Amino acid sequence: MAQTNAAARAAELRQLLNYHSHRYHVLDAPVISDAEYDTLFRELQELEEADPSLRAPDSPTQRVGGGIAAAFPRVTHPAPILSLSNAYAPEEVRAWLDRAIRIEPAAATTGFLVEPKIDGLTVVLTYREGVFALGATRGDGESGEDVTANLRTVRNLPLAIPVSQDGPKAPRRLVVRGEAYIPIADFEAMNERLRQADERTFLNPRNAAAGALRQLDSSLTASRPIRLLAYAIVQSEGLVPGTQADTLAYLRALGFSVADQVRRCAALEEAIGFAEDWARRRDELPFEADGMVIKVDDLELAARLGVVGKDPRGAIAYKFPAQTVSTTLLDIGVNVGRTGVITPYAILEPVMVGGVTVRQATLHNFDYIAEKDIRVGDRIVLKRAGEVIPYVIGPVLEARSGRPRRYQPPTTCPSCGEPLARGEGEVALYCQNAACPAQLVRHLEHFAGRGAMDIEGLGIRVAETLVAEGKVADVGDLYRLKTPDLLELEGFAERRAENLIQAIENSKAQSLARLINGLGIRGVGETVAADLARHFGDLARLASATIADIEAVAGLGPETARALTTWFGQARNQKVLEKLRRAGVWPVVRTTRTQGRRILDGLTFVITGTLPGMSRQDAKSLIEEHGGKVAGSVSRKTDYLVVGADPGSKAEKARGLGVRTISSTELEAMIEGG
Ligand code: IVH
C-alpha cells in the first residue's frame, strides 16, 4: 500500500513539476515560486532515493545528467531526415515555386508558412506513450547517434507530452524534428565566463551546442544553455495536422517551444517580403539563423511534390546575405593574457562584413591554426555574426598560390622576450615571467574591471601608460598612487587624475569576492571567487589554506586548489597582499549578525535565472540569514531582483516596475559591506 502511494505521488509530482517547468522555460510565465518548485522537486528526489524503481525516464530529476556513456549507439530514423535547397535572391524563390506549380498546379494557390532557419543541430525526438524515449542527431539523414541522455538535460524539451493536462492527447508514438541550439546571449555569457577564467572559448553557438550534445558525460551537457525549437512531425500514429501552421500550433499545444518569428502568407511575394524583413533585422533574432524557410503550407500537397535528391520540393531556404567574406591574411599577431596565456589573432586586409570594416579576427589558439592549415598570405574566409567576435573559418585552399608561409608559434614572449612554456597536458603556450609587462597590463585591466574592483577610468590604455611609465609594478601599487603621479602622465589633467585617485580609493570598499577575482589566479573567476569568499571569510584564512581545505569548498577541483596554494605561496604575491593590507584593502565577509538589526532587515528579494556558484536555495538562505525575505514573483513590494544567467520574464517585469536588479556578487557585496 505504502508502495503504491509512493508511486502515485511520484507520478503526480512528475506531472506537476514538468508542468511548472514548462511554464517557466517555455511559456516564460511561472505560476509558483522557485522555492515552491524546489520543495516539490526535493520531495520527488527523496521518493526516488528511497525507491529507485520510481525513477521514471520522464522525471525532471533526470535533467541534471550524470550518466557517462561509452559511446553513442547508432539509430535508424523512421523516415529520411531531409535537407533543404537554398535560394539567395527573390528570383530563385520565384523559380522554385514555378517548378513546383509545374508538378502540382495547386501550389500556386495554397499559401506559405515562413519560419526562421535556425543554425543549430537537427535532432529527432521519439515519444512513446507520451514519454520522451529517444533523441538522435541527424547523422547522414538515414541514421544518427542516440543522444537521449544529453537531450534530456535540455530545459525546454518536454520529457512527457502533453505537458499540460488540457493539451491534446499524445499519439502512442510521435517523432518530432527540431533544432537544438544555444541562444546568442547565453553563448556570449558563457564565453565571457570562460575568457574571465582564461579558459578556451567556443568559436560560435553552433559549435558549442554540437560539442555539448556529443558529450559522453551528460552532466556537462546539462551545464550548457542548450534549447530546442520544434518545427516538424516526422511520424505520428495519431492525427497529423494538414498544414505547417497547424503543425506548429499542435507542437506548441503539446508543450514544445516553436519559433515566434513565423507568418502564414497567402502570396509568395508576401512570403519573400517577410523573409527579407527578417534578413534586415537578423541581429534581433535571439539565435543564429542563416535564412528563412518558406514552406508550402499544405503538407499533403508538399508531400506530393516529392524530393529531389535530399531536398523536398515543398520548401526552400531563402538565405540571409552572407556574414562570411574572404580576405587576405596579412600576418598573425599574438596577445598576452593576464595569466600569461599567449593567443594568436589574424591581421587582415581590411574587409567589410555586415556593414562593418574588420581588420582583425580571432584565430582561437595555435592548434586551430595548425588543424585548419592557416598560413600567412592565404586567402581566408572570415565570419562576423551579429555580436559574436569575428573569427577565421579557414583558408580558401583553391586560392592558395606561391608558397604561403606555414606559421610557427612564437617561442618567446612578444612582450618581455622570456621563453614560453607549454602547460602540462595543455595545448596553450604561457609566458611564465611574473614581471612580464604585457601580463601586468592585462592584470591591472582585469583587477579594475566590472567583475572585480570596478575602478572607473582604469581601462587598458591607462594600464599601459602606468606600466610603461613604471608607476606600478603590481596591483598593490595602485593604492600608493597620488594625484601628482598621474599628472606626470600624458593625457592626465587635474580633474581626470583626481577622479581616478578617488575611484581607486572607493574600490577599497569592494567585497572580498571581487578582490579575490581581481587577483587573477588561474581558474578563479567570479564564481569560484564568490565561493572562496563565502567559505573562508577573509584573505588571511584563504592564504593559509591547504589544498585539502580548498578542495572542501564544493565544486573546486584539485587544479584550482593547486593554482591557489601556488599563488599564495609565491613571495611576490605575498608582497602584493601586504601592500593591499597596509592600504586598507582587506574586506572580510561578515557572517555574524549585528546585534538586533540585520543587514537585510525589511528588504524583499526575488531571485531569477541561474546564479553563478550558488543554488537558488543557497541564495535564499543567505538572504534570510541576514534578515531579508524572498518572494516568488516580482511586484511593487520587491526591493531587489537578483538576476543570474538565463533570466526569465521576471527580469522584464522588474524593469517595467522599476525594481532594481542586482547580480549575486552584488548581493554578497551588500551583505559583506554591511
Ligand atoms: S525544414 C522537410 N525548417 O536547416 C523538412 N529546417 O538544410 C526540411 N533547419 O539541418 C527541413 N530551421 O535542421 C526546416 N524551420 C526550419 C529549420 C530547418 C533549421 C535546418 C534543418 C537542416 C537544415 C536544412
For ligand 1, pick from 85, 122, 233, 262 the residue to mutate: most ligand atoms within 8 Å of CB: 122
Quote the cell numbers at residue 396.
580558401
Write the pLDDT tens digit of every residue in 91-118: 999 999 999 999 999 999 999 999 999 9
Ligand 1 atom showing the smallest separation from residue 259 Cα:
15
User: What's the 219 CA to ligand 1 centre distance in angstroms?
Assistant: 28
pLDDT at 76 over 60: yes
User: What's the 241 CA to ligand 1 centre distance in angstroms?
Assistant: 18
Whole-prediction pTM = 0.69
Average pLDDT over residues 126-131: 96
Specify the pLDDT at position 403. 74
Mean pLDDT of the chain: 90
Evaluate whether 221 touches 159 at the Cβ level (below 8 Å): no
Q: 3-class DSSP state for residue 122? A: strand
User: What's the 294 CA to ligand 1 centre distance in angstroms?
Assistant: 10
Ligand 1 atom showing the smallest separation from residue 119 Cα:
19
Which residue has a Cα nearest atom 21 of ligand 1? 122
Write the pLDDT tens digit of every residue in 38-56: 899 999 999 999 999 999 9
Ligand 1 atom showing the smallest separation from residue 295 Cα:
1
Average pLDDT over residues 525-530: 84
Write the pLDDT tens digit of every residue in 397-434: 888 877 777 899 999 999 999 999 986 767 788 898 87
Ligand 1 atom showing the smallest separation from residue 83 Cα:
7
Specify the pLDDT at position 592. 47
Specify the pLDDT at position 602. 79
Specify the pLDDT at position 500. 96
The share of the chain scoring above pLDDT 70, in percent, equals: 97
Average pLDDT over residues 545-574: 89
Dist CA 23 CA 164 (whole Å) = 9
Specify the pLDDT at position 30. 86
Give the residue with greater pLDDT, 520 vs 250.
Answer: 250
User: What's the 117 CA to ligand 1 centre distance in angstroms?
Assistant: 6
User: What's the 83 CA to ligand 1 centre distance in angstroms?
Assistant: 6
pLDDT-derived band at 199, boundaries 50, 70, 90: confident
pLDDT at 1 over 70: no
pLDDT-derived band at 204, boundaries 50, 70, 90: confident
Q: 3-class DSSP state for residue 96? A: helix
The share of the chain scoring above pLDDT 90, in percent, equals: 62
Most confident residue range from 190-199, 214-223, 461-470: 461-470
Evaluate whether 228 touches 123 at the Cβ level (below 8 Å): yes
* Three-class HEC string of 263-301: EEECCHHHHHHHHHHHHHCHHHCCCCEEEEEEEECEHHH
Specify the pLDDT at position 595. 44
Which residue has a Cα nearest atom 13 of ligand 1? 122
- Residue 328's beta-bridge partner residues? 379
Q: Where are the beta strands (DSSP E) in 434-547?
A: none
Specify the pLDDT at position 304. 96
For ligand 1, pick from 179, 296, 311 the residue to mutate: most ligand atoms within 8 Å of CB: 179
Which residue has a Cα nearest atom 10 of ligand 1? 122
Specify the pLDDT at position 579. 95
Length of the chain: 674
Counts for the chain of helices (H) and strands (E), in that order = 24, 26
Specify the pLDDT at position 388. 67
Ligand 1 atom showing the smallest separation from residue 115 Cα:
15
Dist CA 75 CA 59 (whole Å) = 23
Write the pLDDT tens digit of every residue in 345-359: 999 999 988 778 899
Specify the pLDDT at position 3. 67
Q: Which amino acid is at 601?
A: D
Average pLDDT over residues 440-458: 93
Q: Which residues are catalytic?
A: 117
Dist CA 263 CA 672 (whole Å) = 51
Evaluate whether 443 touches 475 at the Cβ level (below 8 Å): yes
Ligand 1 atom showing the smallest separation from residue 302 Cα:
2
User: What's the 153 CA to ligand 1 centre distance in angstroms?
Assistant: 22
For ligand 1, pick from 113, 115, 117 the residue to mutate: most ligand atoms within 8 Å of CB: 117
Sequence-ordered alpha helix ranges (H) in 425-459:
437-447
Q: 3-class DSSP state for residue 365? A: coil
pLDDT-derived band at 449, boundaries 50, 70, 90: very high
Dist CA 601 CA 624 (whole Å) = 9
For ligand 1, pick from 247, 290, 293 the residue to mutate: most ligand atoms within 8 Å of CB: 293
List residues near ligand 1 (CB under 6 A).
82-84, 115, 117-118, 122, 179, 231-232, 293, 312, 315
Average pLDDT over residues 74-89: 94
pLDDT-derived band at 593, boundaries 50, 70, 90: very low
User: What's the 230 CA to ligand 1 centre distance in angstroms?
Assistant: 10
* Beta strand 405-406 pairing with 375-376: antiparallel
For residue 202, give every residue at least 6 positions away whose Cβ sits within 8 Å of its Cβ, in sequence order, or none.
Answer: 187, 190, 191, 194, 208, 211
Specify the pLDDT at position 597. 61
Average pLDDT over residues 497-505: 95
User: What's the 234 CA to ligand 1 centre distance in angstroms?
Assistant: 12
Which residue has a Cα nearest atom 16 of ligand 1? 117
